[in-house]
Amino acid sequence: MTHRHLVFSHGQESAPWGLKISALAQVARAQGYEAHSVDYRGIQEPGRRVSKLVQFCQGLDGEVVLAGSSVGGYVSVCAAPIVQPTGVFVIAPALYLPQLPPLPQGHLSCPVTVVHGFEDEIVPYEDSVGFARAQGATLHLLKGGHLLHEQLPQIVQLFEGFLRGLLRPSLAGIAARERQAG
């Protein structure tokens, strides 16, 4: 049996097991994932957070899904080319803030879903629109600010659908098997 892991990265001023990760962890566990949340408290430098996430994931066997909120979304996206996750799910990701180093170049090689509040007062939702367009990612714009706590039931539903989608065999894979079978 393949082990599956959800690895969450919290925001700059948050804690590892806040409201969003606790809710997402329940969904992940219900779908057979082991849920983890990396503790970045006391680490201000984004590059050190990315290194910590990569190191954490290297200790896991099986499939990894990265999820993150705000700066944790940035960390998840930056680590993804190294970790090679099955999927990336980010909430109000701080992708292009001037105090953060630029994102790695290139296209992520897994499904990516972005959720952002169009009333976000900290991270412009337009950044997520541009990122989703460039990555070919799924984007959900919701009514709400940066924390999106009022949209938690909707985010939980979106996350559940995202995880279920990762379990479905791809149409390309099915077509390839059918061609091989003749």
CA distance 47 to 20: 23
pTM over 0.85: yes
Tokens describing residue 32: 């057979």
Q: What is the pLDDT along the chain (182 residues), one digit of tens a residue?
A: 679 999 999 999 899 999 999 999 999 999 999 999 999 999 999 999 999 999 999 999 999 999 999 999 999 999 999 999 999 999 999 999 999 999 999 999 999 999 999 999 999 999 999 999 999 999 999 999 999 999 999 999 999 999 999 987 544 444 444 545 65
- The amino acid sitting at 130 is G
Domains of the chain, start order: 4-181 (3.40.50.1820)
